[in-house]
Structure 1
Amino acid sequence: MNPLRPFRRTFCGPLAAALLGASALLWGRQVAAEESAAERLFREGRALLVEQRFAEACPKLEESQRLEPSLGTKLNLAFCHERLGNVATAWVGFQEALITARTAGDAAREAFARARLDALEPRVPWLRVRVSAGGAGADRLVILLDGAALDPVAWDKELPVDPGEHVVAAAHRGEIVWQMTVALKESERADVAVPAAAPPGPAPARAAVPRPEQRPPARRDEAREERSARAAEPGAAGGFVYEAGVLVGYLWQEADMYDACFTTPGSCYFTAESSSLLAAATGFFGYTAMERLDFGLRAQIGLHSGDGVLIALGPSASYQLGERFRVGSTLLFGTATQGEAFEEGGYLQDGSSSGYGLRGPIENSISLGFSLGLGAELGMKLMDSPAGSLFLQTTPLFLIGADGVAASLPLGVAYRWK
């Protein structure tokens, strides 16, 4: 019998368990560190996006995406490249995000990516690299585009490139034997013909031929992609928003007035009611205090066919629902006036009936006086642009004052800059 067997049974089992536990703990801490680094980089990148420091924001978002791939980060990175002017890189990023969102069944993010693709596609420059037919050694050439090896499958095909200068080179056996620089602006197309055979004489430069870039395998983790910090659209706290729009609709108001009676001395009391068409301008100026939530001041000023005006403004909150809709509410201060000719009967202020039934028009401008009320906002996004979004919008309101009430139901369009 081996005298060490009891010792092994007594101590080896617990020791192995302890070692496994320590390894798991170290691995968990490493994963947590990677996750926290990715989240930190993402938050820093988003903050720089809000400050419009795109050259600093893009590398942080790119590193966050490398550490922890997610659809939200990919969308923000593509948006950052778009604002930086790298329209081809942004276009490719939104293409990848569109496929990911479609696979995941995320309709809101898919719609956002599709809208950005439609806006970017006319701006993308395209470059075709042709390799001349014939010539010994054509099958051994390596074509480089901006220092990166170009897969032979991409030869003689249009490739999206960012605006600016691009260097096309040919390498043979690790030696650069030909190169050319081409400059492209947005929407331009260019063809570059690369000679198949190496030209005689010394090579202009010698460089190691890089291998095609290998991207790290993406880690698919749906729980991470659904984190609240990773919003579908690039928009974060800390930015100002502006909105301007035009509305047409319906205005109803009822107001009281006092006027001199024609048949007897004294004051007569009248209630004037009118319904009229309204044409108004609306505006909003605010600050994105929280992601998707804007606080600010909304105003609505209009003229109506009842020979009067509507003025209302006050503090407002506006919230974005998903990708297409926006809702909000406003505490309003204002007034509404109407100018009409009345032939209604009235009552004397002293309570006698001798003034009732009077005829003859009374022309006057009637006002609600200082009024308080509530307003609502409901908007549906029609289209996106690099500066903001165009909404189909309605802003119904209700005002109540010392001398009457008014309500309006308008519909129109508004553009929101962000």
Structure 2
Amino acid sequence: MKPLRPFRRTLCAPLAAALLGASALLWGRQAAAEESAAEQLFREGRALLVEQRFAEACPKLEESQRLEPSLGTKLNLAFCHERLGQVATAWVGFQEALITARTAGDAAREAFAKARIDALAPRVPWLRVRASAGDAGADQVTILLDGAALDPVAWDKELPVDPGEHVVAAAHQGDVFWETTVALKESERVDVAVPAAASAEAAPAPVPAAASRPARRPAARSPAARLPRARLLPEAPRDGARDERSVRAASPGVSDRLVFEVGGFLGHLWLDADKTDVCVNGDGECDFSLSTGSFLAGATGFIGYTAMERLDLGIRAQIGLHSSAGLLIALGPSVSYPLGDRYRVGGTLLFGTATQSGPVFTDGYVWNGYDYDYRSDTVTTSVPLGFSLGLGVEIGMKLTDSPSGALFLQTTPLLLVGADGVAASLPFGVAYRWN
């Protein structure tokens, strides 16, 4: 048998390597599939967000975050919960995103999360569950909040909850002996006193923290979207001013999908226009053209509507003055689309015109009553391009990002063609886009 041992070793080594390789390949395929599924869910969730179908978007973003946690998904998920009116869940989500962004050194997203936290804080309802002194301890009584056991450490502490109905129950040795439903609205604070097991029949009803703000039952919300109970959040400070402050939930509308852009540019304009006019030196008609390039300075703007995922439809306008004593005006329907997180491209169908002034040499024969005389002269005239059609292009690169929008370095070249000539411009400038 001894001569077989080297053979066995020779055979086992490739077998082990093949098994390890197959396992690594299967693991890699599974990880790639999960990553692909997470990315697909994120894109579907984002598209539903843009379409304001928040109830459908949140579950997809939640599953994407579970498969592949990321800061961007966390922020979108918190925003989705905010739009659903789940202000406490959104508030917690933005706090987690703030910590993640701060750790990653992402100042723009940190500022965005901080702004949403500050905006949501006055709207969060708070619930305090008070247990009887004799029942302090999980071995005697278990307190349930929306069906989940509440850690004894959280007893008698204010907990952020979403607006709507919440069920508070108490169980002893697995048997529920007391239960009540309490409804909270935004900014409200409510205390619930849980009776001892022996005095369950004489249990007092929940008492609002502020007597001037009686609890009223709002519309029910989806139980599946309630705030997770696994994490214990710090007790909220008692602020009398906040107790009396009521903030209405913002309803998503058309304004949430509007996009604005304002920018300035410097560049060059080429204009070649023809003009037929009466000569200043007689009654004859003179044909002449003015073709020149000149320095151009002006402003550009865009107002649009996010029609679908990452696609903006709207109107772009450009207006500029140039050194040939004229102007350029162009506007028309435009489409704009981001390439990744940094670049943006777009196109515009333009309607507009351009003018310029300059010296023109004119000559021709003029009838003097008896014969034709040849005359020539140099005049200064204004040459309009007339009504023109053309195309424009938008190419932008993001310089900085902020909670409200982004600053772009961009160029918006255009070409106009009219019956009297053509005009082209190549501008470079910066523009800020509010999203």
Q: TM-score, normalised by structure 2?
A: 0.61
Residue number in structure 1 paired with 2:352: 335
Matched, 1:310 2:308: no
Q: For the Cα contact (< 8 Å) 1:278–1:302, is it kept in 2?
A: yes
Residue number in structure 2 paired with 1:192: 191
Q: For the Cα contact (< 8 Å) 2:363–2:375, is it kept in 1?
A: no
Shift of the 281–80 alpha-carbon distance from structure 1 to 2, 3 Å rule, reads closer
Residue correspondence of structure 1 range 120-199 to structure 2 within 5 A = 120-123=120-123, 125-131=124-130, 135-139=133-137, 140-186=140-186, 188-195=187-194, 197-198=196-197
Q: For the Cα contact (< 8 Å) 1:283–1:300, is it kept in 2?
A: no
Shift of the 191–320 alpha-carbon distance from structure 1 to 2, 3 Å rule, reads farther
Shift of the 73–295 alpha-carbon distance from structure 1 to 2, 3 Å rule, reads closer
Q: For the Cα contact (< 8 Å) 1:141–1:196, is it kept in 2?
A: no
Q: For the Cα contact (< 8 Å) 1:170–1:179, is it kept in 2?
A: yes
Shift of the 129–331 alpha-carbon distance from structure 1 to 2, 3 Å rule, reads closer
Shift of the 26–296 alpha-carbon distance from structure 1 to 2, 3 Å rule, reads same
Shift of the 119–23 alpha-carbon distance from structure 1 to 2, 3 Å rule, reads same
| Residues in 1 aligned to 2:17 and 2:352: alpha-carbon distance in whole angstroms | 75
Matched, 1:356 2:377: yes
| Residues in 2 aligned to 1:120 and 1:353: alpha-carbon distance in whole angstroms | 83
1:191-227 CA distances to partner (integer Å, 9 max, x unpaired)?
A: 21324533536699xxxxxxx7499xxxxxxxxxxxx
Displacement, 1:145? 1.7
| Residues in 2 aligned to 1:311 and 1:270: alpha-carbon distance in whole angstroms | 22
1:348-395 CA distances to partner (integer Å, 9 max, x unpaired)?
A: 243998342569xx7x782355364644455765544xxxx5878977
Displacement, 1:299? 3.3
SS, match of residue 200 in structure 1: helix
Q: For the Cα contact (< 8 Å) 2:274–2:383, is it kept in 1?
A: no
| Residues in 2 aligned to 1:372 and 1:200: alpha-carbon distance in whole angstroms | 83
| Residues in 1 aligned to 2:202 and 2:27: alpha-carbon distance in whole angstroms | 48
Structure 2 residue runs without a partner (length 5+): 204-228, 233-256, 366-372
Shift of the 396–131 alpha-carbon distance from structure 1 to 2, 3 Å rule, reads same
Displacement, 1:129? 0.9
Displacement, 1:50? 1.4
Displacement, 1:74? 3.4
Matched, 1:282 2:302: yes
| Residues in 1 aligned to 2:21 and 2:300: alpha-carbon distance in whole angstroms | 66
1:133-185 CA distances to partner (integer Å, 9 max, x unpaired)?
A: x7423344433221222233333433222222112233344333433322233
| Residues in 2 aligned to 1:49 and 1:101: alpha-carbon distance in whole angstroms | 20
Matched, 1:347 2:361: yes
Judge which range, 305-314 or 88-97, deviates more.
305-314
Residue number in structure 2 paired with 1:102: 102
1:52-92 CA distances to partner (integer Å, 9 max, x unpaired)?
A: 55444444443454455444543444344344433322332
Residue number in structure 2 paired with 1:221: none
Displacement, 1:415? 4.6
Identity %: 35
Displacement, 1:43? 1.5
Residue correspondence of structure 1 range 267-278 to structure 2 within 5 A = 267-268=285-286, 269=288, 271=290
| Residues in 2 aligned to 1:22 and 1:406: alpha-carbon distance in whole angstroms | 65
Matched, 1:85 2:85: yes
Shift of the 199–391 alpha-carbon distance from structure 1 to 2, 3 Å rule, reads farther
- The residue type equivalent to 2:81 in the other structure is H
- The residue type equivalent to 1:282 in the other structure is F
| Residues in 2 aligned to 1:155 and 1:397: alpha-carbon distance in whole angstroms | 65
Shift of the 70–295 alpha-carbon distance from structure 1 to 2, 3 Å rule, reads closer
Residue number in structure 2 paired with 1:238: none
Shift of the 63–330 alpha-carbon distance from structure 1 to 2, 3 Å rule, reads closer
Residue number in structure 1 paired with 2:317: 300
Structure 1 residue runs without a partner (length 5+): 205-211, 216-240
1:268-291 CA distances to partner (integer Å, 9 max, x unpaired)?
A: 447599999978763456776xx8
1:304-346 CA distances to partner (integer Å, 9 max, x unpaired)?
A: 8999872334765532664xx65435365433145x9x8x764
Q: 2:26 aligns with which of 22, 29, 52?
A: 29
Shift of the 5–68 alpha-carbon distance from structure 1 to 2, 3 Å rule, reads farther
Shift of the 391–375 alpha-carbon distance from structure 1 to 2, 3 Å rule, reads same
Q: For the Cα contact (< 8 Å) 2:279–2:285, is it kept in 1?
A: yes
| Residues in 2 aligned to 1:165 and 1:198: alpha-carbon distance in whole angstroms | 24
SS, match of residue 280 in structure 2: coil
Residue number in structure 2 paired with 1:40: 37
- The residue type equivalent to 1:318 in the other structure is Y
Residue correspondence of structure 1 range 198-217 to structure 2 within 5 A = 198=197, 200=199, 213=230
Shift of the 21–272 alpha-carbon distance from structure 1 to 2, 3 Å rule, reads closer
Matched, 1:403 2:401: no
Residue number in structure 1 paired with 2:217: none
Q: For the Cα contact (< 8 Å) 2:128–2:190, is it kept in 1?
A: yes
- The residue type equivalent to 1:330 in the other structure is G
SS, match of residue 356 in structure 1: strand
Q: For the Cα contact (< 8 Å) 1:177–1:199, is it kept in 2?
A: no
| Residues in 1 aligned to 2:73 and 2:264: alpha-carbon distance in whole angstroms | 40
